[in-house]
Amino acid sequence: MTASNIHSNIIFSQQIETELENIVSSFPVGKVFLLTEETPAKLCLPLIQNLIDKYQIRITTIEGGETHKSIRSVEKVWEVLSKYGADRKSLLINIGGGMLTDLGGFAASTFKRGMAFINIPTTLLAQVDASLGGKTGINFNGLKNEIGVFNEPNAVIINTNFLKTIDFENFLSGYAEMLKHGLIKNPAHWEELMVYDFDNIDYEALQEIIAHSVDVKKWHVENDLTEKNIRKALNFGHTVGHAFESYALHEGRPILHGYAVVYGMIAELYLSAAKCGFDKLLLDQISKWMLEKYGKFEIKPDDYEALYELMTHDKKNEGSRINFTLISKIGQVEINQDCPKELIFEALDYYSQLSV
């Protein structure tokens, strides 16, 4: 079924083969391609093997992980598309996590100046964030998502049963983006996330909660596709978070994207309290809850300069200033906030001094 309150190209369904055939059948046989990662290839492709055979779908598999979100991986996709005669009337199906849907979307958007693509996200992070909203891209020169284009997929098919294939750490990584959605737009969504039972995950009930989170993402995208205004709200936690993520990778102690966003949200909630009047007691309560769930990436004052330097490369910046999205209260965002270096270091101090 397609959720009525969701944009029509986002399909929530437990019948993955049926939904996929509805889309694939409108493309010529032999003109449908599939990109996936090693783990989804083993766990998910058997569910659609009949379609793969019927429509002669050609499969490309790449290695998972941020280190493979590269131009070389895109070249591999392009080479297959070129070799087997893909054109603007072809379709690329991306089955995997956020790295895969970002990369596949970019490959499809740039091949012959653009061919159709759909996303079937297999991780929670991809289902609530990465596969939605039209951001595609790859990492370049040590910087996350440095190269990319805005281009919405023709469809996104969300099936919560795929989430049974991910470990709990990756589940929490995706949950972080849901927490962000609650904080920036929907207090009721935030409340349901606070009481969710992590010890007994109900995948059918989770589909409804995911729909609430997707609603937040879609609202911002539909009102500002190319991130000129209100879509910047979705960057809450990401200015500092991306710096954490890049720094952790450089240090040889990588962390998952959602964990980095959580640590970024803690720092940016501190900035929100300093700049926008966010309640300081609530700041402490949220920070405590987040660290209990996500642990901590340890940093020292010696690391602040490198983290700050990474923030200066953020794509949302305007000129020389670092552009933050902050919140004055749960559900109320304040975009285009300029914070001086001293205050950013204070926020990093606040985070680093918290105890797990």
Q: What is the pLDDT of residues 263-296, one digit of tens each?
A: 999 999 999 999 999 999 999 999 999 999 999 9
The pTM assigned to this predicted structure is 0.86
Q: What is the number of structural domains in the chain?
A: 2
Residue 261 burial (CB count, 10 A)? 29
Cα gap 287→284, rounded to integer Å: 5
Cα gap 5→340, rounded to integer Å: 40
In the chain, the percentage of residues whose pLDDT exceeds 70 is 96
Of 115, 145, 166, which residue sits at a domain end?
A: 166
Question: Are 176 and 152 part of one and the same domain?
Answer: no
Of 119, 141, 166, which residue sits at a domain end?
A: 166
pLDDT in tens, 47-89: 899 999 999 999 999 998 888 999 999 999 999 999 999 999 9
Question: Are 160 and 273 part of one and the same domain?
Answer: no
Q: How many CA atoms lie within 13 A of 335 on its CB side?
A: 15
Question: Are 135 and 188 part of one and the same domain?
Answer: no
Which is nearest to 35 in space by CA: 4, 59, 71?
A: 59
How far are the Cα atoms of 13, 157, 236, 305, 345 from residue 22, in angstroms, in the given order?
Answer: 12, 12, 36, 52, 52
Question: Are 118 and 187 part of one and the same domain?
Answer: no
Question: Are 236 and 340 part of one and the same domain?
Answer: yes
Does residue 5 sit within a domain? no
Of 131, 166, 201, which residue sits at a domain end?
A: 166
Does residue 243 sit within a domain? yes
**Owning domain of residue 124:** 10-166
User: How far does Cα 308 stand from its chain's mean position?
Assistant: 22
pLDDT in tens, 164-218: 888 999 999 999 999 999 999 999 999 999 999 999 998 888 999 999 999 999 9
In the predicted structure, residue 316 carries a pLDDT above the cut 80 = no
How far are the Cα atoms of 232, 320, 323 from residue 336, in angstroms, in the given order?
Answer: 8, 13, 5
